[in-house]
Chain A
Amino acid sequence: MTEPERTSPADRDGHRGDDSDDVLLGRPSDAALSEQLLSTTWRPLTAGWKLAFAICLLLTLLLFAMVTLTVLRGIGMWGNQIPVAWGFGIINFVWWIGIGHAGTFISAILLLLEQPWRTSINRFTEGMTLFAVVQAGLFPLLHLGRPWFAYWLFPYPSAMDTWPQVRSALPWDAAAVTTYFSVSVMFWYLGLVPDLAALRDRAPTRTRRILYGICALGWRGSVEQWRHHKVAYYLLAGLATPLVLSVHSVVSLDFATTGLPGWHSTLFPPFFVAGAILSGFAMVLVLIIPARRVFRLHNVITPRHFDAMAKMLLITSWIVTYSYLVEIFMGWYSADRYESYQYLHNRPFGWYGWAFWLMMFCNCVATQLFWSRRMRRNLTALFAVALLVNLGMWLERFEIIVVSLARDFLPSAWHLFVPTWVDLGILTGTLGFFGLLFLLFLRVVPFVPVAEMKQMRSELDAHAGAREEAAR
């Protein structure tokens, strides 16, 4: 096998290809593309990767320690109290599960919309989805207080002769999150099978070949296999598409079905979905900008990809901004004193007013940078704004949960919420655990889909050929 070809100056230096609108720079051969994308699993580890892995491992240990403490001593270790019974646990749950949404949006919805820029980043973002949902799932489990009874949420013929209450939003949530995770895993694995087969045939050591061979299930790329694979892939995309909308809608129903000012709103499902996609794209950018640099993927993840993702940030940021404005307007228009107090006084000027204004800056103002085409292709700006959006979306859930609960109806019941060190430890720990899973993912499977990239290249060639023919 040959070394990956250097096909254009932009391969070496992403900044020079800034004006390109191509989803693939140069026309690497099948062999070169395979070598470049598969070799991420066997190239020597860089010092940066090892350092990141060590940090994430330490944070994961911190997470395990905090979880152990929570299970042993109970959720009294958290800052939750009455009236703020849903503290960091639910904020982090909603935040993490929202982050997952961009993955499914890119891999499923953009596949059906035939957007070529999804191809090189879809597995990466789908992986992000899986690991974010793993973090998310942890929180409701711990928040139960007695996580060893989590199976009570699922219907089974119990000796206690009881069943889950399926008219409540919480079992819906259990069903929605479980389904989301399972379907994401299936979609991800189906797309992975041809690439696992490529690794079986190409990986450098016998052990790797055997392991990848088992995971590839004997894929040989026959016509019959591709025929069913293609149909199933599109079908799973079609099935995952409503999940993008339904999961966060169901999550939002946990709030919207209650009577609390700040929660009780029919706006919640679309508002939550837009916020989820905003935070998801922000997290994709935070992860992909360093990964592209470390693994030198400038030819397959191009300025065009960043441009498109920045536009998605801008669009979803406007949907979220609109939702904030509608919420405030409805608070006033309802003429309900609790609603108007919540939106017109408590959130902007209450105990946590700083969080409101910071959220507004992160989610609504910072993203306006991307009206400029130059900024959409400026990786420093993208990375910085993406971090801000992630912070802003966390603050949004803080606004919804803590700020609404801390001052509900009766002033005598109001109570300032302060997180404990266990709360902060668990949040930091999940960031580390997420990073750990992601770093392993980058090493274990090709995170840019190889077969799909080669197919896209062949289609681009065919189109270019047809255009030349027409020009002549």
Chain B
Amino acid sequence: MIRRGAQPAHLAARARQRSAPPSIDQPAVMAEFASGPALLDGIRALRDLGVSRLDAFTPYEVAGLEPLLGVRRSRLPWIALGIGLAFGGAAYLLQWWINVIDYPLNIGGRPYHSAPAFIPITFEMTVLFAAAAALISALVLGGLPRLWHPVFEIAGFERATIDRFWLAIAPDHGAPDHGVIDRARVMAALEAAGALRVVWLVPSGDAPAAPLAGGAP
């Protein structure tokens, strides 16, 4: 049995504070699968046990994973839209201020405030800053840059970017019986779903952390 208190209190608090589900900062249990569909089976099996705080690490996007974990649509486009419009507007205002207020030049009697001539730069700046906002938001919202992460310490996790699909269970995994995981049942469920091995990261009283099925083939 694992109790919730197994993780240091400050880490658990930080994990809750920093990330809404499903991002897990310090997983309690990790399971390795050979394919995306097997990973989905594993998640469904754990769901049936009532374990709901889950995360997954995959080499590419697995179809059906996000709905299964209840992931909401990213709010990133709104950030990009806001930043893009703000900088586009600023670019227009700057052009107007340059041409009309600070440095008016009479070019063949054409109007100082010539909106059509200001459009190209306004458009380009909107795109430039919206794109920069999208890139930076994608990285920052995904918790990057962060060169080291606890999951990197797991032997074999380096295949998570190649051909292995990892499932993580949070210490406060959302099980109905107040944070108690029945180890035997979790092992059985993951094994039935086709887990290659299961790694227990949170030390528990009843058994040492050991691979389930003799490691990766």
Residues of A participating in the B interface, judged by any CB pair closer than 8 Å: 29-31, 34, 155, 161-167, 171-172, 175-176, 178-179, 182-183, 186-187, 189-190, 193-194, 197-198, 200-202, 213-214, 217-233, 235-236, 239-240, 242-243, 246, 250, 253, 451-452, 454-455, 458-459, 462
Contacts and interface: CB of A to CB of B under 8 A. Distances in A.
Interface in B167-209: none
Given A218-B143, A452-B60, 8 more contacts: A34-B59, A167-B114, A193-B139, A224-B23, A228-B138, A231-B77, A233-B138, A458-B36
Contact of B135 (A186, A225, A458): A186
Contacts of A229: 138, 142
B74 A227 contact: yes
A451 B59 contact: yes
B134 interface: yes
B160 interface: yes
Contacts of B74: 227-228, 230-232
B55 A172 contact: no
A242 B127 contact: yes
B212 interface: no
B1 interface: no
Contacts of A246: 120, 123-124
Contacts of A194: 59-60, 161
Q: Tell me the dominant secondary structure on chain A's binding face.
A: helix
B120 A224 contact: no
Given A186-B132, A221-B160, A229-B142, A176 B59 contact: no
Given A198-B59, A221-B161, A176 B141 contact: no
Contacts of A186: 131-132, 134-135
Nearest to B110: A167
A93 B186 CA distance: 63
Nearest to A200: B161
B104 to A, nearest CB: 10
B73 A166 contact: no
B13 interface: no
Contacts of A219: 142, 144, 161
A217 B61 contact: no
B39 to A, nearest CB: 11
B33 to A, nearest CB: 12
Interface string B73-84: 110110010000
Contacts of A164: 98
B146 interface: yes
Interface in B103-127: 103, 105, 107, 110, 114, 117-118, 120-121, 123-125, 127
Contact of A34 (B80, B131, B145, B162): B162
Contacts of A225: 142-144
A375 to B, nearest CB: 35
A298 to B, nearest CB: 22
Contacts of B158: 201-202
Given A228-B142, A231-B74, A176 B19 contact: no
B85 interface: no
Contacts of B139: 193, 217
A458 B110 CA distance: 59
B22 interface: yes
A362 B144 CA distance: 49
Interface of B: 19, 22-24, 36, 55-63, 65-66, 69, 71, 73-74, 76-77, 80, 94-95, 98-99, 102-103, 105, 107, 110, 114, 117-118, 120-121, 123-125, 127-128, 130-132, 134-135, 137-139, 141-149, 151-152, 158-163
B132 A202 contact: no
6 contacts: A161-B103, A175-B124, A176-B124, A189-B135, A221-B59, A223-B23
A217 B145 contact: yes
A182 B135 CA distance: 11
A240 B80 CA distance: 13
B65 A223 contact: yes
A197 B132 CA distance: 21
A72 B22 CA distance: 60
Contacts of A243: 127
Contact of B57 (A176, A217, A220, A240): A220
A405 B105 CA distance: 28
A218 B145 contact: yes
B139 to A, nearest CB: 6
Contact of B143 (A161, A213, A224): A224
A239 B36 contact: no
A190 B143 contact: no
A175 B125 contact: yes
Contact of A166 (B19, B22, B118, B143): B118
A230 B135 CA distance: 11
A217 B141 CA distance: 13
With most chain B CB atoms within 10 A of its CB, the pick from A31, A187, A213, A239 is: A239
B124 A179 contact: yes
Nearest to A190: B135
Contact of A220 (B99, B120, B132, B149): B149
B161 A198 contact: yes
A122 to B, nearest CB: 15
With most chain A CB atoms within 10 A of its CB, the pick from B19, B146, B162, B163 is: B162
B144 A223 contact: no
B83 to A, nearest CB: 12
Given A186-B132, A186-B135, A246-B120, A202 B162 contact: yes
B53 to A, nearest CB: 12
With most chain A CB atoms within 10 A of its CB, the pick from B57, B110, B114 is: B57
Given A227-B66, A227-B74, A462-B63, A220 B160 contact: yes
A183 B131 contact: yes
Contacts of B23: 222-224
B213 to A, nearest CB: 18
Nearest to B60: A455
A164 B120 CA distance: 14
Contact of A182 (B36, B55, B59, B131): B131
